[in-house]
């Protein structure tokens, strides 16, 4: 086990040393996806604004309208990021097959490439989120700094999540379609735009037992309610540690076998 962990850590260290590679490739990926369009990557911002605009118009009521918009905007921002990661991870190693079988880049490079892509995409959504918060005149307080901490925790949870799903996807190709459907349904089962008022009954169960709730709340609560979500922060940190504790041995075990599995 010690050897596997050492090999995994060496893979991660090497990928971090080669950060110029995955940063460049991720930037090219985003550029290529919108190469021929007029708006370019600003389609990512428009996409977010169309979604949030629809939610605010359909679900926003007159009472606390501004606060609901902020609630939904921050919730949707985090959910878009989660959706991007969960939807794309399972097929990662299959997409990267030619690189995996043709170069000696560490496996973590591909994980960080996808992480970087999602962070860049989220950057555009963040512009939209910030614009809505400004528009709704949500007061900026020192508590907002906890939302920055939250973003750090969410990003820390990303590489192990991608790695675990990508490995499952390499063994079980149906996983990518399961995940694509799961994230579509997940948006309605996660309190992205509901849960602003008191949640009772089944909604309460969904709210409290859905782990994604806490990843939304650690970013959302400091901004919208000016409170520090201590429990949610602790929960998310534990999840991050558990994910890494699972991902590191898996990386050590499969990093050289993945070329034969895809």
Partner 1 sequence: MVSISARNIGLNYRIPRKLTLAPRDRRMAAGGRIESSGSGRIVKALEGVTFSLRSGDRLGLVGPNGAGKTTLLKVLYGIFEPSAGELHIDGRVDALFNITLGFRTEATGRRNIELRGLINGWTKQQIAARMDEIIEFSELGEFIDMPFKAYSQGMAARLAFSVATTLQPEILLMDEWIGAGDAGFQDKATARMDEIAQKAGIIVLASHNQSLIEQTCNKVLRLEKGRAGEVLPIGEYARD
Chain residues that interact with partner 1, rule: CB under 8 A: 18, 20-21, 24-25, 28, 31-32, 35, 98-105, 171-174, 256-257, 259-261
Q: Pick between residue 100 and residue 138 the one whose CB is nearest to partner 1.
A: 100
DSSP 173-202: TTHHHHHHHHHHHHHHHTTSSS-SS---HH
Report residue 188: phi and psi, to 5°. Answer: -85, -25
Least separation, in Å, of the C-beta of 128 and partner 1? 26
Q: Pick between residue 20 and residue 58 the one whose CB is nearest to partner 1.
A: 20
Per the rule left: phi > 0, alpha: psi between -120 and 50, beta: everything else, 40 is left
Q: Pick between residue 78 and residue 107 the one whose CB is nearest to partner 1.
A: 107
Could you tell me the end-to-end alpha-carbon distance of the chain, in angstroms, rounded to an integer?
24
Least separation, in Å, of the C-beta of 31 and partner 1? 8
Q: Pick between residue 101 and residue 208 the one whose CB is nearest to partner 1.
A: 101
Q: Pick between residue 129 and residue 170 the one whose CB is nearest to partner 1.
A: 170
Q: Pick between residue 102 and residue 201 the one whose CB is nearest to partner 1.
A: 102
Least separation, in Å, of the C-beta of 101 and partner 1? 7
Least separation, in Å, of the C-beta of 99 and partner 1? 7
140 DSSP 8-state letter: P
Least separation, in Å, of the C-beta of 24 and partner 1? 6
Other C-beta atoms closer than 10 Å to the C-beta of 209 total: 8
The tokens describing 156, both together, are: 């820390």
Least separation, in Å, of the C-beta of 14 and partner 1? 10
9 burial type by CB count under 10 A (0-12 exposed, 13-18 middle, 19+ buried):
middle
Least separation, in Å, of the C-beta of 47 and partner 1? 21
Picking from 111, 90, 106, 107, the residue whose alpha carbon sits closest to that of residue 26 is 111
Q: Pick between residue 35 and residue 184 the one whose CB is nearest to partner 1.
A: 35
Tell me the C-alpha distance between 160 and 243, whole Å: 6
224 and 138 Cβ atoms separated by less than 8 Å: yes
């Amino acid at each position: 086990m010690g050897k596997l962990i050492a090999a995994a850590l060496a893979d991660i260290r090497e990928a971090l040393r080669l950060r110029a590679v995955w940063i460049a490739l991720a930037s090219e990926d985003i550029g290529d996806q919108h190469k021929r369009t007029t708006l370019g990557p600003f389609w990512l911002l428009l996409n977010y604004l169309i979604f949030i605009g629809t939610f605010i118009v359909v679900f926003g009521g007159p009472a606390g309208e501004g606060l609901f918009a902020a609630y939904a905007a921050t919730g949707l921002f985090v959910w878009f990021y989660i959706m991007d990661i969960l939807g794309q991870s399972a097929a990662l190693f299959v997409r990267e097959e030619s690189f995996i079988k043709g170069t000696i880049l560490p496996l973590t490079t591909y994980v960080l490439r996808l992480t970087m892509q999602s962070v860049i995409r989220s950057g555009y959504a963040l512009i939209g989120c910030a614009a809505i918060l400004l528009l709704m005149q949500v007061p900026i307080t020192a508590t907002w700094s906890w939302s920055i901490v939250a973003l750090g925790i969410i990003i820390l949870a990303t590489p192990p999540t991608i790695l675990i799903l990508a490995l499952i996807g390499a063994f079980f190709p149906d996983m990518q379609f399961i995940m694509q459907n799961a994230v579509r349904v997940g948006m309605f089962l996660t309190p992205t735009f509901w849960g602003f008022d008191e949640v009772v009954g089944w909604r309460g169960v969904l709210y409290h037992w859905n782990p994604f709730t806490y990843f939304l709340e650690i970013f959302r609560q400091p901004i919208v309610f000016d409170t520090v979500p201590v429990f949610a922060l602790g929960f998310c940190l534990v999840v991050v540690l558990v994910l890494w504790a699972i991902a590191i041995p898996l990386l050590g075990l499969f990093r050289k076998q993945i070329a034969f599995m895809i």
